[in-house]
Amino acid sequence: MFSSIDYIHMSHALRLAEQGLYSASPNPRVGCIIAYQDQVVGSGWHERAGLNHAEINALDMAGAAARGATVYLTLEPCSHYGRTPPCTHALIQAGVAKIIIAMEDPNPLVSGTGFALLKQAGIEVQVGLLEKEAYALNIGFITRMTDRKPWVRLKIAASLDGKTALNNGMSQWITGQAAREDGHRWRARSCAVMTGIGTLQADDPALTVRHIETVRQPKKVVVDSHLSLSLDANVLRGAETFIFTASNNREKIAALRDLGAQVVVLPDTIGQVDLVAMMRVLADSGMNELLVEAGCQLNGSLIKARLVDELVIFLAPHLLGDQARGMINLPELINLEQKHMLEIQDLRMLGKDIRIISRFS
């Protein structure tokens, strides 16, 4: 169905889409190539919301040469008016002959309608080239559209015996420089970084991206059931901060809002934050990927609620002993059939440390 030239051009389009890894959200990461056989006449990618989509950038480069050409696109073109006009109209007006698309857009405003409009205009449409790769690139956007939650990624740095800090709270630094820099790349691609009040009180992290260049800082999300957060906390500086709480302390809420934080009161039946409802709020706020950097209690609560999609675990070659703090607090199991099953997606060395990426099966 697809030729070797088709694979070459779609691979190129996917590499272009990756340039939006740190900037495109809440929109999907999209790349586009316009070509005659092996000759590329236009290329583009989507940088960030409000700017031209990948198709428009590629059409602008191609100009009149787009007429009769084949377009390679990593995601179905939009067919609705948002911050920018629909790309399907621009492709039709440009007179392209054929469009090869990696995957359908899961956005209900688009899903399938882009294909229909193109076909009605007499343009040949083929779908499914390198679909798996395109899906992986936009897994957060897809999850938000289909499940009304971000793609939730737990990041944990631990010793070989699974400890994240000494019993006195000391944790800097368990892993080496290469692992910590990789951790900042995960922050940079995320729409937001989440932590709990325990981590904030112990470490007072800023939750910012450092060590690498990025065009934006991720938003910050704090889970603080009793609204214990200090008004001087580093997390309240810089990028927008969401604070989820079960407390109705009006004075504290007002003080936090005066500092620019968004405070959302979402109690569950036992006086804790309703984590499922919290994920819906984050999805409705346009968050595709959420990186969790928290302690064992919040990590366990998220897993117990079946809200975690992926674990990124950095293991350092040392032991901290049985009195040190663990990675995840989960209820005791009474038989092995209850174990939480994961599938390892990737395993690699980063300096002297090991990075394991796994997903729930």
Choose one of 77, 112, 142: the last residue of a domain: 142
Query: Does 48 belong to an annotated binding site?
Result: no
Q: DSSP alpha helices (H): ranges in the chain?
A: 4-17, 54-62, 87-94, 113-120, 131-137, 139-147, 177-189, 197-203, 250-258, 275-284, 296-304
Rounded to the nearest 5 degrees, what angle is found at the Cα of 331, between the Cα atoms of 326 and 332?
90
203-238 confidence digits (pLDDT tens): 899 999 998 888 899 999 999 999 999 999 999 998
Query: Does 298 belong to an annotated binding site?
Result: yes
- Mean pLDDT, rounded, for 105-132: 88
266-319 confidence digits (pLDDT tens): 999 899 999 999 999 999 999 999 999 999 999 999 999 999 999 999 999 999
Q: What is the pTM of this model?
A: 0.93
Number of domains in the chain: 2
Query: Does 296 belong to an annotated binding site?
Result: yes
Strands (E), 185-250: 192-196, 219-223, 241-245
What is the distance between the terminal CA atoms of the chain, rounded to a whole angstrom? 31
Average pLDDT, the chain: 94
Kindly state the tokens that stand for 308.
């975690």
d(CA 80, CA 95): 19
Choose one of 142, 168, 187: the last residue of a domain: 142
d(CA 286, CA 28): 11
27-72 confidence digits (pLDDT tens): 999 999 999 999 999 999 999 988 899 999 999 999 999 999 999 9
In terms of domains, do 215 and 315 share one?
Answer: yes
d(CA 16, CA 11): 9
328-346 confidence digits (pLDDT tens): 999 899 999 889 999 999 9
The CATH code of the domain that includes 249 is: 3.40.430.10
In terms of domains, do 188 and 259 share one?
Answer: yes
* Contact present, 308 and 271 (Cβ < 8 Å): no
Query: Does 32 belong to an annotated binding site?
Result: no
Query: Does 187 belong to an annotated binding site?
Result: yes
The CATH code of the domain that includes 42 is: 3.40.140.10
Specify the pLDDT at position 101: 96
Specify the pLDDT at position 84: 62
In terms of domains, do 300 and 175 share one?
Answer: yes
In terms of domains, do 65 and 160 share one?
Answer: no
Query: Does 190 belong to an annotated binding site?
Result: no
Residues belonging to the active site: 55
Which DSSP state fits 171?
Answer: -
**pLDDT band at 83, cuts 50/70/90?**
low
Q: Which domain holds residue 238?
A: 149-360
Choose one of 86, 107, 142: the last residue of a domain: 142
